[in-house]
Amino acid sequence: MNIILVSNNLAKTRSVTLGVPQILLALFVLMIITMAMASALQNVLLRFAPQSLSDAAQVVLMGGHAAEQRKQQAYLQASLQAMAAKVGQMQAQMQRLDALGGRLAKITGMNPAEFSFDKPAAQGGPLLTNAGADVSSLELERQLAMMSTAVSDRGDKLAALQTMLMQNQLNQKLLPTILPVNSGWHSSNFGWRVDPFTGLSAMHEGVDFVVPAGTPIYASAGGVIAYSDKHPSYGNMVEIEHGNDIITRYAHASKLLVKVGQVVRRGDKIAEVGSTGRSTGNHLHFEVRYKGSAQNPVRFLKKAAA
């Protein structure tokens, strides 16, 4: 394309040759300028004189704003979906905490009606509203953050409580609360009595179970074998340390089945009844000692029946 320039200031005409690249560049610049002017005109008309436009013009001009609103609505919907997913995760955590709370309630023996994790706490009071205060997304996010923190704290505390309860339950298993023999009757209880050999008043530091020879003797609680040998007075005797300064003794056995250092559980067979040592017949002499002092075994054995 050739363009001829003619001017009074020029002594002669000038000719300018434009190729395809120059023409395309000029058209692109013209299009950009036109779009910028149209956008500026649209904003001016919508801001200062929307009521003076025709319906058709308002529809055209509002099209851009409708598209922007649709984008904002899509973003808001995506945010709400993300919040809904977060709420779902928190509800799942609450269900796990409810199950944990139920197990803890059973362990502690609490009344389920008074300690129910799967029901909301009772609430009430007069209705006081603020009509001008709508819940915003920022407020919702703040509430969700607070709830998430509370759930995490609740889970940590319940887990710690479960650990403590399990430790207490383990300690209970280390108390001598089950009978060392499955049958028999008490021929002599704990306390002062007439000694069968001297006829004098003497302290009896255990309980005697009269049972046939060979009757199995069981560990009344779990622990470690501290003594398993013959004793001048107790005859064949087993002594078990249960921790917390508690020791049980099983005397006058005919046969010993455990060794020193062996770990036994509650109810394990450790010996057989006999009449060895300072004994007048087949029976089991059972003692419970705390910090070296003899305790009445019946006090511990009653806990098993409670």
Please give the pLDDT value at position 26.
73
Q: Are 216 and 250 in contact (CB under 8 A)?
A: no
Dist. CA 242–CA 251, nearest whole Å: 17
Dist. CA 133–CA 141, nearest whole Å: 16
Query: In sequence order, what are the residues at sequence separation of 6 or more whose Cβ sits closer than 8 angstroms to the Cβ of residue 162?
Result: 100, 103, 104
Q: 92 is written with which tokens?
A: 């799942």
Distances in Å between the Cα of 9 and the Cα atoms of 12, 13, 14, 77, 180 are 9, 10, 12, 66, 130
Please give the pLDDT value at position 131.
47
3-state helix, strand, coil in the chain (%, to 5): 40, 25, 35
* E strand or H helix that includes residue 60: helix 55-108
Cα–Cα nearest to 264, from 166, 165, 180? 180
Q: Are 169 and 275 in contact (CB under 8 A)?
A: no
* E strand or H helix that includes residue 81: helix 55-108
As its CATH architecture, domain 185-305 has: Distorted Sandwich (2.70)
Question: Within the chain, which residues score under 50 in pLDDT?
Answer: 131-134, 304-306
Distances in Å between the Cα of 290 and the Cα atoms of 192, 208, 240, 263 are 19, 19, 12, 20
Please give the pLDDT value at position 75.
78
Please give the pLDDT value at position 300.
83
Per-residue pLDDT tens digits for 241-259: 998 889 999 999 999 999 9
The residues spanned by each domain of the chain are 2-46, 185-305
